[in-house]
Amino acid sequence: MWRLNAVRHKARGRNTAGEEFRLKRREQEREFRQARKDQQLVSKRLIEEDEEEDEGAMDTADSKLWKDQELVELLQGVQHGGEKRASNLRTLRKVLRSPEAQLILIGLENSMQVLVGLLSGSSAQCQLEAAHCVHQLSSSTCARVGAACLPATPYLITYLSGQNAKFTRPNLAVVEAVGFIVAQLLQAKDASEKIIPLVMSSGLTLHLLAALQPQPEYGMGAAIEYAWCLHYLACCDKASEALISQGAVSQCSSLLITLGGAVATGNTEEGIELLIWPLLRCVGNLLAGSALECCASQLTDSRLLAALCILAQTFLQPHPGLARESLWVLNNLTADSSVFSSAVLYLSLVPSLIQLLPFSKGINTMVLQVLANVAYQGTEYCVQLTHSGLLPALCATLKMADPAVVTLSLEVLCMLLASSSQAAEEFVKLGGSAALEAMRYNSQDELRLRASYLLEHHLPAYSQVRSICLYFRNRHKACCCVHSDFKTLFCVLTAYRAKVHLLRSAVNHSVSFFLSVIEVKTPAL
C-alpha cells in the first residue's frame, strides 16, 4: 500500500535530512548576504563628519600618528573624569578613525569597559561621545575590532528609544554595525560549539528581539541585521529552545503580520524583503526543530497565515525564493495541526494557493505539501478542498514534467477520492482518469504503481469500462489478423444468415402441411 499513514512534510531539526536542508539553505544565502554586505558597507559612512569639519579641529587629532603610550594617557584621561572628560572623548573618537589606533585601543586593558561604563553614566554629553567612539570601532573592516564592540550592544539598544536624536542616530548606527558583526560570527564553522553558547549565556538574545522593530525615522537597517542573527541562532538546536521560551516565535510572527499588511496595501519601503527573509527563516526553523505544541501559545493570530499567502503572491515574480520561504513556513504551521489546517479553509486561502500551482522553482511543490497537510486532517477537510476547486488543478499538475509535483498530486488526489464518491465522479468528468491511464506507461515504477492503485481502488467503474473496451479492442485485432478484409467477412456472414432464415421458413411451412395431413403434432424446428 503506497499511501502514507501520515503526511509529515515538516523538517525535523534532529533528522539528517533536516540538517542537510539547513546546510543547503545556508550555502544559498552566502552569496545573497555577500552582495548585501558589499552594498551596505559603502553606505556605513561615519556620521556627523560635516559638523566636525565645521568645528575646525580635524587637523589636530587625525594628522598625528598616535603611539601606544599616548593612547593610554588619553584613555586614562577619559577614565578619570573631570571637566576634560567630554573633550578627551571627542579627541578619542577622532583618533579612532585610524585603523592602527583602533587596534591599539582594543588591545589596552579595560578600554571597552571604560566606554561601556560611560554609556550607562549620567552625563548625556559623555554618553553621546562614547557612542561615537563605539561607532568608529564598529565601522572598522577588521573583525577583531568589530567583535570588541559586543559588550556595548545591550546599552545601545536600550537607548534607541531615547529623546535625543543625535544620541539615537549614532546608537542606531553602532547597533546595525554590531548586528552585522554578530551575524558574521554566527556563520563561522565552529559557531555552534564556541560562539552560540557564549551569545546565549550572555543574555544578548533578549536585546536582539528588542531591536527587531524597525525605527521609522532611521530605517530598518538594525532590524535586518538582528533578524539575520536570530535566524542563525534558530538553526542551532541548542539555541532554538531558549529562543522559543523567550518569545521569539511571537515576536517574529507579529512583525511578519505587520509587514504582510504593509505589503498588501503597497505601503512598503525599498529593501523590505531583506527583513522579511530572515524572519521567515527564523520562524520556519523554530517550527521545524520543535514540536508545534511548544509554540502554540505564541501562535494565536490566524492573520499570520494570510500574511504568508500575501508575501508568497507579492514576491512571486521579483523574488521567487522569498515566495517559497513563505510557503515553507505555512507548510510547517499546517503539518500535524488541525487548528491551522482549519484556518486555511476558514480564511478561504485555498483558491489563492491554487493560483500558485502553475509556478515551478519549488513553489508548486510547497503548495501541494500544504494542501496535503490539510487533506490529511480528515474527510470533511477533503470535501471542502474539493468544493474549493482543487480537482481541476490536480488534473493539470498530474500532467507536469516534474516527478515530485506528480507524486504529491497523486498523494493529495488519493485522499480526495477516498473522501467521497462525488469526488471520484467529478474527477472522471474532468478527464483526470485519462491522465492516470497514461501514467500507467510512465518510465518510473512508483508513478505507475500509484496510478494503477487509484484506478483500481478509487475509480472501479472506470476500470470496468476500460476492461470491456480492451476486450473488444483485442477481439477486433484478432479478427483483423485472421481475415485481412473484415468488410468482406461481414458481408459473407450477413448473406449466409439471410439464406438460413429463408431455408428455416420453408422447412417449417412444409412440416406444418405434412402434420396437418397425418394429424400428428410434433414440435416445429
Closest CA to 276 of 220, 233, 209, 332: 220
Per-residue pLDDT of 304-330, as tens digits, reads 999 999 999 999 998 999 999 999 999
110 pLDDT higher than 60:
yes
- pLDDT at residue number 22: 43
222 pLDDT higher than 70:
yes
Of 54-63, 237-246, 507-516, where does the model show the most confidence? Answer: 237-246
3-7, 151-155, 230-234, 361-365: range with lowest mean pLDDT: 3-7
Of 24-38, 42-56, 109-123, 347-361, where does the model show the most confidence? Answer: 347-361
**Residue range 419-443: average pLDDT?**
87
Q: How far apart are CA 316 and CA 358, in angstroms?
A: 12
Full DSSP string of 140-189: -S-HHHHHTTGGGHHHHHHGGG-S-HHHHHHHHHHHHHHHHHHHHHTTST
**Residue range 407-428: average pLDDT?**
91
- Reduce the secondary structure of 447-462 to three states and give it as a string: HHHHHHHHHHHCCHHH
Full DSSP string of 69-127: HHHHHHHHHHHH-STTHHHHHHHHHHHTTSHHHHHHHHHSTTHHHHHHHHHTSS-HHHH
The average confidence (pLDDT) of the chain is 76
**Residue range 430-456: average pLDDT?**
86
**Residue range 210-216: average pLDDT?**
76
Measure Cα distances from 140 to 47, 133, 143, 173, 204 in Å: 14, 11, 8, 13, 22
**H or E element, residue 327:** helix 320-334
Q: How far apart are CA 332 and CA 284, in angstroms?
A: 7
pTM above threshold 0.75: no
- pLDDT at residue number 294: 79
**Residue range 37-45: average pLDDT?**
42
Closest CA to 174 of 126, 140, 206: 140
DSSP 298: G
Q: How far apart are CA 277 and CA 178, in angstroms?
A: 20
93-107, 167-181, 296-310, 320-334: range with lowest mean pLDDT: 167-181
**Residue range 275-286: average pLDDT?**
92
346 pLDDT higher than 60:
yes
37 pLDDT higher than 70:
no
What pLDDT band is residue 167 in, cutting at 50, 70 and 90?
low
Closest CA to 6 of 336, 331, 410, 447: 336
Q: How many CB atoms are located within 10 Å of the residue 126 CB?
A: 19
179 pLDDT higher than 70:
yes
Q: How far apart are CA 344 and CA 180, in angstroms?
A: 36
Closest CA to 150 of 166, 137, 165: 137
Closest CA to 354 of 366, 367, 345: 367
- Burial degree of 274 (CB within 10 A; 0-12, 13-18, 19+): buried
Question: What grid cell was written down for 247?
Answer: 518569545
Radius of gyration of the chain (CA): 38
239 pLDDT higher than 70:
yes
Of 184-188, 379-383, 424-428, where does the model show the most confidence? Answer: 379-383
Question: What grid cell was written down for 137?
Answer: 570601532
52 pLDDT higher than 50:
no
- pLDDT at residue number 520: 40
Instruction: Specify the residue for cell string 538546536.
Output: 237
**Residue range 33-58: average pLDDT?**
44
Per-residue pLDDT of 292-302, as tens digits, reads 677 888 888 89
**Residue range 336-347: average pLDDT?**
92
Q: How far apart are CA 288 and CA 453, in angstroms?
A: 32
